[in-house]
């Protein structure tokens, strides 16, 4: 959580081109956000760092709308690839299912990355 808040803080600094944040809201309440930015030393590749939605907003299209808005912005910027990392644990099964529904494909898996028994899954989508 601290890492996610740090990235949002950096994205809100006017001088920071490395992180962008899109926020979904309704009636003055934040329903979710997505944080992304260009991948260093690449041409047209971006990392999706965090996507989060309020528990009461889940299943209502907030995440989909955020991803679609991010992808529209990235296409406008001539991006060609979006990369995302997540955990392979059962608890992250719904997260991986969400990315699959958004047409992100598993590209790699690093065994025991986070800790023994917890793999890193790298997904991507060509824009």
Adjacent-strand bridge partners of 26: 29
- DSSP E strand boundaries for 16-116: 20-26, 29-38, 45-53, 81-87, 105-115
- Reading the block at residue 47, the tokens are 């990392």
- DSSP E strand boundaries for 27-94: 29-38, 45-53, 81-87
Quick: pLDDT tens for 38-85: 999 999 999 999 999 998 888 889 999 999 999 999 999 999 999 999
Instruction: Tell me if 90 sits within 8 A of 75, measured CB to CB.
Output: no
Percent of the chain with pLDDT over 70: 87
Class of 22-126 in CATH: alpha beta
Adjacent-strand bridge partners of 48: 36, 84
pTM higher than 0.85 for the full model?
no
Strand pairing report for 118-126 and 29-38 = unpaired
CA 55/CA 50 separation, integer angstroms: 15
Q: What is the pLDDT of residue 9?
A: 53
């Amino acid at each position: 959580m601290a890492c996610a808040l740090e990235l949002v803080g950096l994205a809100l600094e006017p001088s920071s081109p490395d992180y962008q944040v899109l926020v979904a809201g309704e009636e003055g309440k934040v329903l979710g956000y997505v944080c992304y930015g260009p991948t260093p030393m690449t041409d047209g590749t971006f990392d999706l760092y965090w996507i989060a939605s309020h528990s009461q907003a889940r299943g209502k299209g907030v995440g989909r709308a955020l991803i679609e808005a991010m992808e529209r912005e990235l296409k406008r910027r001539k991006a060609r690839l979006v990369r995302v990392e997540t955990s392979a644990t059962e608890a992250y099964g719904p997260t991986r299912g969400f990315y699959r529904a958004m047409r992100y494909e598993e590209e790699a898996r690093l065994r025991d990355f986070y800790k023994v028994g917890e793999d890193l899954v790298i997904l991507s989508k060509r824009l």
